[in-house]
Chains A and B, each alone.
Chain A
Amino acid sequence: MQLFFQGIENATTWTNLVYCLIGVTIGMLVGVMPGIGPVSGTAALIPLTFGMDPLSAIIMLAGIYYGAMYGGTITSVLINIPGESASVITCIDGYQMTLQGRGGTALGVAAIGSFIGGVVAIAGLATLAPALAKFALRFGPVEYFTILLMGLMMLMGLMGRSIVRGLAAALIGLLLSLVGMDFVSGESRFTLGLLQLERGIDFVPMALGLFGISELLLSLEEKINAAKPAQLNRLLPERHEWKPTMKAIGRGTGIGFLIGLIPGANAVIASLISYTVEKKTAKDPSRFGKGAIEGVAAPETANNACSGSAMIPLFTLGIPSSPTIAILFGAFVMHGLTPGPTLFQRNPDFVWAIIASMLIGNIMLLILNLPLARLWARVAMIPYQLLFPFIMVISIIGAYSLNNSLWDVGVMLVFGVVGYAMKKLDFPLAAMILTFVLGRSIESSLLQSLILSDGSLAIFFSSPLSSTFMTISILILVFSVVGGLRKKKIALSDSEI
């Protein structure tokens, strides 16, 4: 508790409050605007934080991440355009509520639910993370490798429709991470004699290309015509609606929190599952799709709870569970911090200040959202042909500013093509970026394990923990392959909603 109050003290300095506000505001903008998501928004700003204090930098970047969840809701509800992928589900009932003249209520419920989900997730982070981090200190390279493997298997099992494509993307990401100097042997690997590759491929231009440029290109294919946002009247539900709304928020919080802990299960899945649960538990499921208030409250709460709890694997185990968290992982490393169990030990002030700033950021977002909702929605009305060249220039500057090198801009554009092709052919981008970010950790823990065992793979079944993680990994792989062979879709289809 003392550490938490210390964290609040550190997070509430004027500098950190300003950076928190900047982060959540940019996050709102990123969430509202189609064509740019939290991954590319965060990645583009990382180089700009180099001169900043690490705490302020992470506060701002984390603010973008959870701010985008709030921002995506506004356009989903008011103009039926999801600004961010996790808000797709909210369009279903949210926009219907707007058509019924209840857009304000939808936004109010979404904001309250997001706030509650976010705060509960932060409370969970504050409660569970220290204990989990202490437990994880017992991990050796064997346990670390097996938990990484399990996390990646979960990711591949959940993302995309083809385990083969997921594995291919993941292993290529792993190979790309090995380019550059090998710190164990001192060898320069796969550099093609190029000086720029001695330090490896930087993840910022790679992420900007894979997620940012590819998304810009995909958005160019569609014509996004935003209608004028409707008038907002009442912001809160009717008296008789409070009880079902709060129940939906409660369920959404639980579902989102649990899903956020699972690598690969991102906020989209959390909001999808939450919506489905609400529909299945409702007394009158036919209301869903026609403006059911629970259809807005539950998914919005779930996606915010998920984004908060996703920080737990990052802080305690050093495992990013989604592409945006992977970018945050990279930001930590760039600022000289190593996410994982030792972070709580070596930098407790830093960790608790981040947790406190997330609470403050959620309060800021609640205030920013409700009175200014219509203003935010107007941002989405900016014609895309006006917006996307501007986003492209920001992305170029973001890539360039990493090393003040046009090489990184070129890398970004190449990965833009790669990301576009991957999206068209259903290769999951998340698998590639996550293994890329974790690649060196995977290699070093694997090598250390094999050195300890004189090359025997049996070491991965030597301890109860590692055996458990390996068994789960194998089961996930087997079920995914079997599921693929039976042509079963792992993700819920539209017809089930």
Chain B
Amino acid sequence: MHKNAALWSALFVGAIGVFFLIYSLEYPLKSSVGPGAGMIPFAVSLMVIGLSVILLFQALRRPIYFRDILPKSEGLRKIILVFVAAAIFLAVIPYTGFVIASTILLFILYVQHYRWYVSAGLALGISLLAFWVFGNLLNIPLPTNGWGW
């Protein structure tokens, strides 16, 4: 059952409904002129929970297994790597600035397919180009380090 992706999606939808339902009770359902700030979220959350129950029954009747929808080893590895690279990017950028963080991100993604020195060159080149175009030409204040890049 734990391998049933449709079941997990139904539970996730239900969890969203429950979260908004409980939270909406903190706001008034009625106001002096009519419905309060909590009324619409409360009503919509109830509908979402109802739909999640239907999805749950559908998932039990016609399961969709993770193995049928997720890519096989190579594809899955590539996808996980994207998020690992993105997580590293977000973690280091406040300290290293955009250019270095972007170079690391791109290097991790390119080195899967190209030799390390080609990947390093591409990563650095694209990062510098992006910094120049967006940071200098278009004046977007990208995060920088102590040296200004």
Q: Mark B106-149, 1 if CB is under 8 A from A, else 0.
A: 10011011100000001100110010001000111111000000
> Are B51 and A413 in contact (CB-based, < 8 A)?
no
Contact residues in A for B122 (Cβ distance below 8 Å): 386
> Are A393 and B127 in contact (CB-based, < 8 A)?
yes
Q: Mark B39-51, 1 if CB is under 8 A from A, else 0.
A: 1110011011001
Question: Interface centre among A48, A388, A420, A425, by most B CB within 10 Å?
Answer: A425
Q: A332 interface residue, CB < 8 Å from B?
A: no
Assembled-state Cα–Cα distance A421/B9 (Å): 9
Contact residues in B for A379 (Cβ distance below 8 Å): none
> Are B54 and A164 in contact (CB-based, < 8 A)?
yes
Assembled-state Cα–Cα distance A420/B5 (Å): 13
Q: Mark A168-184, 1 if CB is under 8 A from B, else 0.
A: 10011011001000101
Q: B49 → chain A, closest Cβ, in Å? A: 10
Interface size, B (range): 35 or more
Contact residues in B for A451 (Cβ distance below 8 Å): 33-35
> Are B94 and A406 in contact (CB-based, < 8 A)?
yes
Q: B100 interface residue, CB < 8 Å from A?
A: no
> Are A406 and B143 in contact (CB-based, < 8 A)?
yes
Contact residues in B for A162 (Cβ distance below 8 Å): 58
User: What's the tally of chain A residues with a CB closer than 8 Å to chain B?
Assistant: 54
Question: Interface centre among A165, A174, A175, by most B CB within 10 Å?
Answer: A175
Q: A390 → chain B, closest Cβ, in Å? A: 6
Q: A174 → chain B, closest Cβ, in Å? A: 6
Among the listed stretches A146-154, A213-221, A226-234, which one makes contact with chain B, having 4 or more residues with CB under 8 Å of it? Answer: A213-221
Assembled-state Cα–Cα distance A185/B36 (Å): 8
Contact of A394 among B20, B48, B54, B130 (CB under 8 A): B130
> Are B44 and A174 in contact (CB-based, < 8 A)?
yes
Assembled-state Cα–Cα distance A425/B47 (Å): 20
Contact residues in B for A393 (Cβ distance below 8 Å): 102, 105-106, 126-127, 130
> Are A171 and B51 in contact (CB-based, < 8 A)?
yes
Among the listed stretches A6-14, A116-124, A397-405, which one makes contact with chain B, having 4 or more residues with CB under 8 Å of it? Answer: A397-405
Q: A190 interface residue, CB < 8 Å from B?
A: yes
Q: B16 interface residue, CB < 8 Å from A?
A: yes
Q: B64 interface residue, CB < 8 Å from A?
A: yes
Contact residues in A for B79 (Cβ distance below 8 Å): 217, 220-221, 420
Among the listed stretches A29-37, A255-263, A342-350, A442-450, which one makes contact with chain B, having 4 or more residues with CB under 8 Å of it? Answer: A442-450
> Are A175 and B109 in contact (CB-based, < 8 A)?
no
Contact residues in A for B75 (Cβ distance below 8 Å): 220-221
Look across to chain B and name the residue whose beta carbon is closest to the beta carbon of A405: B143
Assembled-state Cα–Cα distance A69/B45 (Å): 38
Contact residues in B for A427 (Cβ distance below 8 Å): 9
> Are B51 and A167 in contact (CB-based, < 8 A)?
yes
Query: Known contacts A168-B52, A385-B112; is A447 also within 8 Å of B35 by CB?
Result: yes
> Are B69 and A220 in contact (CB-based, < 8 A)?
no
Q: A92 interface residue, CB < 8 Å from B?
A: no
Assembled-state Cα–Cα distance A446/B40 (Å): 9
> Are B20 and A390 in contact (CB-based, < 8 A)?
no
Assembled-state Cα–Cα distance A320/B140 (Å): 29
Q: A410 interface residue, CB < 8 Å from B?
A: yes
Assembled-state Cα–Cα distance A162/B41 (Å): 23
Q: A494 interface residue, CB < 8 Å from B?
A: no
Q: A385 → chain B, closest Cβ, in Å? A: 4
Contact residues in A for B106 (Cβ distance below 8 Å): 389-390, 393
Contact residues in B for A336 (Cβ distance below 8 Å): none
Contact of A450 among B16, B34, B90 (CB under 8 A): B34
Look across to chain A and name the residue whose beta carbon is closest to the beta carbon of B135: A397
Q: B3 interface residue, CB < 8 Å from A?
A: no
Contact residues in B for A446 (Cβ distance below 8 Å): 40
> Are B113 and A175 in contact (CB-based, < 8 A)?
no
Contact of B55 among A168, A220, A396, A413 (CB under 8 A): A168
> Are B23 and A190 in contact (CB-based, < 8 A)?
yes
Query: Known contacts A175-B41, A385-B112, A406-B94; is A164 also within 8 Å of B82 by CB?
Result: no
Contact residues in A for B126 (Cβ distance below 8 Å): 389-390, 393
CB-CB nearest 3 A-B residue pairs: A451-B34, A389-B109, A185-B37
- Which residues of B pack against A, CB within 8 Å? 5-6, 9, 13, 16, 20, 23-24, 27-28, 31, 33-37, 39-41, 44-45, 47-48, 51-52, 54-55, 58, 64, 69-71, 75, 78-79, 82-83, 86, 89-90, 93-94, 102, 105-106, 109-110, 112-114, 122-123, 126-127, 130, 134, 138-143
- Which residues of A pack against B, CB within 8 Å? 47-48, 51, 162, 164-165, 167-168, 171-172, 174-175, 178, 182, 184-185, 187, 189-190, 216-217, 220-221, 383, 385-386, 388-390, 392-394, 396-397, 400-401, 404, 406, 409-410, 413, 417, 420-421, 424-425, 427, 443, 446-447, 450-451, 454-455
9 new A-B pairs (CB below 8 Å) besides A175-B20, A400-B140, A413-B90? A190-B23, A220-B75, A385-B114, A390-B126, A397-B134, A406-B143, A425-B6, A450-B34, A451-B34
Enumerate 6 A-B pairs (CB-CB under 8 Å) in ascending A order. A190-B41, A220-B75, A385-B114, A404-B141, A447-B34, A451-B35
